Amino acid sequence: MSELVIKDLHVSIEGKEILKGLNLTIRQGEVHAIMGPNGTGKSTLAYTLMGHPSYAVTGGEVWFKDQNLLELAPDERSRAGIFLAFQYPVSIPGVTVANFLRTAINARRRAINPEDKGVPIPEFRKMLKEKMELLKMDSVFAGRYLNDGFSGGEKKRAEILQMAALKPEIAILDETDSGLDIDALRIVSEGVNALSGPEMGVLVITHYQRLLNYIKPQFVHIMMGGRIVESGGPELALHLEESGYDWVREKYEEPAA
């Protein structure tokens, strides 16, 4: 069983320290949720784990499958089995969803075997059809340019389709509920739930309990001041919904913004 182990992680952006000694372990088959106020470092954690160049790691370690993840390039992290669903996915006009996915899958195959000829088109079409049916997506979606003119809900569904095709061992969802109405939220959550299982660990980053009404975490963590300060079960998210973050600020002497 693969596990992502984060030890005493310190991260700065333009000289300002954002993560200040974060510790977390996520295993395949587990669903974790991280909640916290704006500016506490939730998205910084997501981007750091995928190797965004603007985020400077100044201390700590991240281990995945006996590799120091911090020494790998972003594409190597992806091929190792890490996936990030962006809060704000970018548009790529001229590149269809299907071509993007096939290119990504072939890049992974060739990284393992440089002589690989790529996934045969009939096999790819069959796989894509199965994944889109699982996610209740219309087949015409595959022929559209990636995120070009997509609604917020369509962009997030395209991210989940990528996750379905790439089959990561650890998936990070950075505020997937951002900008979604209740119907789009339900559809995206159903897709995540359909893909979750013993082969994939999930880290959900969110502000709100409403997402966790659909994606059920076993573990809930609260970030404050660049660290995880509280951990518990689903009841912790419900307590935040009822009481807000003031009690966390008081307990850890973090002043309200």
The whole-number average pLDDT for the span 173-179 is 85
Q: Which residue matches tokens 């071509």?
A: 99
Cα separation, 62 vs 111, in Å, equals 22
Contacts of 219 (CB under 8 A, 6+ apart): 30, 31, 32, 33, 231, 232, 233
Is residue 101 over pLDDT 70? Answer: yes
207 in any annotated domain: yes
SS3 108: helix
Cα separation, 133 vs 68, in Å, equals 37
Instruction: Tell me the CATH number at 217.
Output: 3.40.50.300
220 in any annotated domain: yes
Q: How many structural domains comprise the chain? A: 1
**In the prediction, which pLDDT does 24 show?**
97
127 in any annotated domain: no
The percent of residues above 90 in pLDDT, for the chain, comes to 67
pTM over 0.95: no
60 in any annotated domain: yes
226 in any annotated domain: yes
What is the domain range of residue 59?
Answer: 3-91+151-252
257 in any annotated domain: no
Tokens of 199: 């082969």
Is residue 253 over pLDDT 80? Answer: no
Q: Quick: pLDDT tens for 112-169.
A: 899 999 999 999 999 999 999 888 888 999 999 999 999 888 898 899 999 999 999 9
Q: Quick: pLDDT tens for 61-73.
A: 999 999 999 999 9
**In the prediction, which pLDDT does 112 show?**
84
105 in any annotated domain: no
19 in any annotated domain: yes
